[in-house]
Structure formats: structure tokens, C-alpha cells
Amino acid sequence: MLGRYDLGDRVNSEDAVFLRAALENHPDSAKKIGCGIIDFSVRSADFGTKCFWVNRSDGTTEKFSVSASIRG
């Protein structure tokens, strides 16, 4: 899924449904979700890689790993 997006893209609504479900299974889900999710985007992460970011209702963002959510 990540490969379909370029840096700076917002995740479409269909993929966002999957990401929300995955994030709920993340070991740090409460911290990652925080005050609530507005949407998801793709930005750079460590070492120049790209990853999904949660964009929260208070304007803060947090990166998260889908693979960590799956391993839960």
C-alpha cells in the first residue's frame, strides 16, 4: 500500500479504513491515536524511508509502522 503513495500524499479514504484498523492493533495505539485521527499521510521517516503518519485533530502528527500493528 505504501508504494502507491508519494511523499506528501494524503491517504485515500479506502486505505484509511485499513490503516485505522491496523493502528487500533498497534502496541502503542492509545499514544499513536491520541486525541483522534483526522487522516493519514505519507512522509519521510528515519534514514530517508517513507512511512505512514497519523494526522490528529489537535494538529499533531505521529508516524507509525503497519508491520508493528500486524505483529501487535
The predicted pLDDT at position 26 comes to: 87
Edge-to-edge strand list for the sheet holding 37-44: 37-44, 50-56, 61-64
56 within a domain of the structure (yes/no) = yes
Task: Give the angle 55-59-62 at the CA atoms, nearest 5°.
Answer: 40
pLDDT reported for residue 68: 74
Residue 25 lies in a domain: yes
Range of the domain at 21: 2-65
Domain count, the chain: 1
Closest CA to 23 of 59, 61, 65: 65
Tens of pLDDT, residues 36-64: 999 999 999 878 889 999 999 999 999 98
Residue 70 lies in a domain: no
Q: In this structure, what CATH number is given to the domain that contains residue 12? A: 3.10.450.40
Residue 72 lies in a domain: no
What would the DSSP string read from start to end of 8-53? TPBPPHHHHHHHHHHHHTSTTHHHHHTT-EEEEEEEE-GGG-EEEE
